Amino acid sequence: MKQLLLVFIGGGIGSCLRFLISRNFNAYYDNFFVGTFVVNIIGSLIIGFVLGCSLKGNYFSKDQILFLATGFCGGFTTFSAFAFEKHGLLQSGELLYFTIYALSSIFVGVLAIAFGLWLSRLI
């Protein structure tokens, strides 16, 4: 029950923060959803760092990993919003924006994971 509560609280915090960031950033750009991009990249960095630290040693307890990686990052990052926004770009015929956003999200997300793992090695 404790683990479920940790995931629930972490997910709630992550979801609220994602909402605030997306609402503020997405309002300024029509065809590039900066808020969703930002939260997905930051979430990738955080999960790379947390899981990298946990692989390296006992920097985070199992409960902290559940709270941060599963809960917070799970609520903070959003594949469903990413997919919905891409669908909207395709529907409106914005193939260039669709391609740039999809590829850059995947590429930069993987780089953020790698950077988080690299940062965890510095500890």
Quote the CA–CA distance of 29 and 4 in Å, as a whole number: 37
Q: pLDDT grade, residue 78 (50/70/90)?
A: confident
pLDDT at 114 over 90: yes
Ranges assigned E (strand) in the chain:
none
Percent of the chain with pLDDT over 70: 99
Q: pLDDT grade, residue 56 (50/70/90)?
A: confident
Q: pLDDT grade, residue 102 (50/70/90)?
A: very high
Domain locations in the chain?
41-123
CB distance 62 to 2 below 8 Å: no
In 3D, which of 50, 103, 38, 112 has the Cα closest to residue 77? Answer: 38
Which token pair is 99? 């391609």
